[in-house]
Amino acid sequence: MDLLSLSVGLFIILILGLLSLKVGIVDHSGLIAGVLVGIPIIIAPQDGLKWFILVLAFHIVAAQFTKYKYEVKRRKDTAQEKGGARGWRNVIANGATAILMALCSGIWGNPIFLAGFIGAVATSTSDTLATEIGLLNPKSPRLITHLNKKVPPGTSGGITILGELATILGSLLIGLLAWVLGFDGYLLEWSSIILIFIALIAGFAGSTFDSFLGASFQGIYRCIICGKITENKVHCKRNANQIRGFGLLDNNLVNLTSTIVGAISAMLIFSIV
């Protein structure tokens, strides 16, 4: 990493961070977290700027789709809070595995960590798109662990046809961008098809794991004011009653775990093919 690319990288992070804050993609804490995620990803691996572009693509796509039909989601009472601006917990939960992969790549230089990185970013992207696009599905979602059971839109672990298509779209986007960035060349014997295939499978595995955790172990609550079932500990400004799952396993920890699964899936495929 030379000083010039480092300065260019930091400059880009800062400009984009401030823009994100201005258009409401992140809040202030999310901006700081975004800078903290961006710096090691730019600095640690070889050609870190390209790695950073991949993470950036996730953030832009996630923001676009969170805002997409925000009014419709708000009316269904399924929209993200604060207009969809992401706080630091969300940014770190989605970025931690990617940082780890970037650091490992910087230390050992083995391309397996690039595979893991792509798997983690593909999972975050798929998962966010599945949630945000899935909310617009005309029919009620079904619980991934009991497919004959319909649940209200926004329920953790609920899946829809539209959401599953969005899962594929998210991973495909990351796979295609990785190919455009020339990552197939870094992975030596990888052809572009295998690169895209790995993003697809890893992103799908990670997102499916996310839904599975959401349907089984994630902490789920019932609001004591409006009676709504929610994954948030606080609803209508009051502490909600826990009805199932583990309180510790909140949405952010579920996201983090899923990116780990996505990364491991990609690394496994990398070692096999």
| Shortest separation between residue 223's beta carbon and Zn ion, angstroms | 3
Which one-letter DSSP state was computed for residue 110? -
Nearer to Zn ion, 180 or 236 (CB): 236
Q: Does 225 bind Zn ion (CB under 5 A)?
A: yes
Give which of 157, 155, 163 is closest to 138, Cα–Cα: 163
Check residue 158 and give left, alpha or beta (phi > 0: left; psi -120 to 50: alpha). Answer: beta
| Shortest separation between residue 197's beta carbon and Zn ion, angstroms | 43
Non-local (6+) Cβ contacts of 95 within 8 A are 33, 34, 37, 41, 55
Q: Does 60 bind Zn ion (CB under 5 A)?
A: no
Q: Does 267 bind Zn ion (CB under 5 A)?
A: no
Question: Residue 224: in which H helix or E strand, if any?
Answer: none
Query: 160 and 78 in contact (C-beta within 8 Å)?
Result: no
Q: Does 234 bind Zn ion (CB under 5 A)?
A: no
Question: Which of 55-63, 95-103, 231-239, 253-261 is the region at the interface with Zn ion (rule: CB under 5 A)?
Answer: 231-239
Interatomic CA distance for residues 224 and 155, integer angstroms: 17
Angle at 21 between CA 168 and CA 97, to 5 degrees: 45
Question: Which of 76-84, 123-131, 200-208, 224-232 is the region at the interface with Zn ion (rule: CB under 5 A)?
Answer: 224-232
Identify the residue among 120, 121, 223, 256 touching Zn ion (CB under 5 A): 223
Site map for Zn ion, 183-222, x if CB under 5 A? ----------------------------------------
Nearer to Zn ion, 76 or 168 (CB): 76
Residue 253: other Cβ atoms inside 10 A: 17
Q: Does 236 bind Zn ion (CB under 5 A)?
A: yes
Dihedral sign of CA atoms 115, 105, 211, 83 in order: negative
| Shortest separation between residue 235's beta carbon and Zn ion, angstroms | 4
Q: Does 235 bind Zn ion (CB under 5 A)?
A: yes
For Zn ion, the binding residues (CB under 5 A) are 223, 225-226, 228, 235-236
